[in-house]
Structure 1
Amino acid sequence: MAGKGEGPAIGIEYSRVGVWQHDRVEIIADDQGNRTTPSYVAFTDTERLIGDAAKNQVAMNPINTVFDAKRLIGRRFSDPSVQSDVKLWPFKVIAGPGDKPMIVVTYKGEEKQFAAEEISSMVLIKMREIAEAYLGTPIKNAVVTVPAYSNDSQRQATKDAGVIAGLNVMRIINEPTAAAIAYGLDKKATGAGEKNVLIF
């Protein structure tokens, strides 16, 4: 496989970004040396925080710190799982147009509403910035992973988040598929026969 490719994985709790280079997938560390970034976005009177900075201030600003946005992506507000989750979150979620869940926060003194795709796009932008800082070159294309159980609506909403983030989402793939591909990419053919690999 020639060239480089970026692959962000936006998780419910944590996100990571990898790049194919030197004949293997490298998970890129951020400026703090962390290879995972909390999937948190916080809104304050002065700024928007993403990742560790957002998670670190959640106790002081719980109603304006959004996490688990991936649990809302591609779902309807009336979905029983959304209704169950809404009861547990400190931030506010309301029904928007077409029964779309909208996250309500106060940002720079004004009430704002964001769809889950918009929150996910903010995390994707952060992951792109980490990759660009590491590679020293702009990133336009990405392959984004989703849980294997994601439905078509969730996959499309994830792709929409990538577009909002300014990325050309080349493909949406299942997380177990990504793990299997990552395992196989750096393995040279050492002989004939099958190999059994557990992907969890």
Structure 2
Amino acid sequence: MYELLRNLKRAIRRRVRKYSARRLEQDKPSYNRFWMGVVVIFAILFSSFLFPLAQLFAPISTPGVGEVSSEDIIAPFDFPVYKSQGELDTEIRMALAALPAVLIYDQRMVDSLFGSVDRLFFLTDSLKSVVGNRSRIADRLRLFFPQIKNEILMKLAGWDSLSTRETIIIASLRDRYIVGIARVDSLVPANYHEVIVVRPNRET
């Protein structure tokens, strides 16, 4: 009797183990599917954070034919450049030459120039009425206008009818300065297609 009960107990245990193992095998796929879903959702959220949908589906902004790009355009892959550095430099110079040179017209400098010319003729006329020697007149003028050569000052001291000559020189300067004159040659590009002079508060 005892042996029969022990065998029955063992059979029940084996049956319980088989049933538990079968339940574990059945529950494992659902457990894996749950965590797989969690991983997929997390991956979607992380991708949305790195690549916002507004930028992901936005059309690529590329300039049209004849337009200038406002941003740097980066190629999606590396490609070789078959032109030499000299050819590239030549094309860059040609492209820059096709652009207009933009100069800003400074009315204050123009007014200062005409004021200096008027002061030069006024001082010359005043010195001629007091000092009769041309060399001494030129020396006095050089104190106020050191940038003018001595030969020019000597010639100016020997002129007659300074007011008439001043009128002619002022008119000639106005014809040139109405277009625009740079202070130094380096301010104007060596090669240019055209020049645009910008006059503040005036028509360009």
TM-score bracket for this pair, using the shorter chain length: under 0.3
Structure 2 length as normaliser, TM-score?
Answer: 0.23
Higher-strand-fraction structure: 1
Greater RCO structure (CA 8 Å; 6+ sep): 2
CA radius of gyration, larger in? 2
